[in-house]
Every structure is written in structure tokens, then in C-alpha cells.
Amino acid sequence: MHFANVKSAYSFEVNKRANKAQIKNAVERIYNVKVQKVRTANRKGKQRRRGRSFGVTSSWKKAVVFLEPEFHIDLF
């Protein structure tokens, strides 16, 4: 089972400077749902190689948003 079906949790890529309260307010306004809690994680960029030179992909912030049981987000 998908985590969204079991726990009503959805993951988003958010701005690195956004905090949990800002993420909660944005999701509630955009999708008209009630957010129960928010978990965040800073994801480090991976090292990539192109020929002889090395580079790093951009770091990003992931937010997992848990909704109240009676709410859901229609993805398709």
C-alpha cells in the first residue's frame, strides 16, 4: 500500500527556507484540507560526473504532510 492511502501522507519538494508552519498554511490554502502534522528533511545533492569533471546536483528540502483522516488530495 502507498503511504498516502495508509496514513494520508503526501510528500512535497518545498523551498529550503520554509518552516513547518509555512508549509502547513500553504498546503491547507492550496488544497483546502486540514493538516495534522508536517515532517521535513533536508536532502543533500548527489555527486554526478560528466566526462572527467565532477559536479553536484542541487540540495533540496522534502516535506511530508500528514492530513486529518477525513481529508485527502486528489492527485489525478
pLDDT digits (tens, 9 = 90+) for 8-49: 899 999 999 999 999 999 999 999 999 999 999 999 999 999
Domain total for the chain?
1
Q: Where residue 7 sits, what CATH number does that domain have?
A: 3.30.70.330
**Residue 35 confidence (pLDDT):** 96
Residue 2 in this model has a pLDDT that exceeds 80: no
Segments forming the whole domain that contains residue 14: 3-67
By residue count, the chain amounts to: 76
DSSP string of the chain?
Answer: --HHHHH-EEEEEE-TT--HHHHHHHHHHHH---EEEEEEEEEPPPEEEETTEEEEPPPEEEEEEEEPTT------
Contact call for residues 12 and 62 (beta carbons, < 8 A): yes
Domain-embedded: residue 75: no
Residue 70 in this model has a pLDDT that exceeds 70: yes
pLDDT grade for 1, boundaries at 50, 70 and 90: low
